Amino acid sequence: MRDQTLLGSVGLTRVDWVNRFANIGYWVRHSRTRLGIATTAARLIAAFGLKKLGLHRLEILIPGHNLASQRVAEKVGAKFEGVLRNRVILANKLHDTHLYSLIPADLAKYSP
Confidence at 1, pLDDT banded by 50, 70, 90:
very low
| Strand segments (E) across the chain | 8-16, 21-28, 57-63, 79-90, 93-102
Q: What is the pLDDT of residues 13-49, one digit of tens each?
A: 999 999 999 999 999 988 887 878 999 999 999 999 9
**Pairing between β-strand 57-63 and β-strand 21-28 as defined by DSSP bridges:** parallel
Rounded Cα distance, 98 and 70, in Å: 8
- Look at residue 55 in the predicted model and tell me its pLDDT: 98
Residue 50 neighbours by CB under 8 Å, 6+ apart: 56, 58, 102, 103, 104, 107
* Domain annotation for the chain: domains and CATH numbers: 8-108 (3.40.630.30)
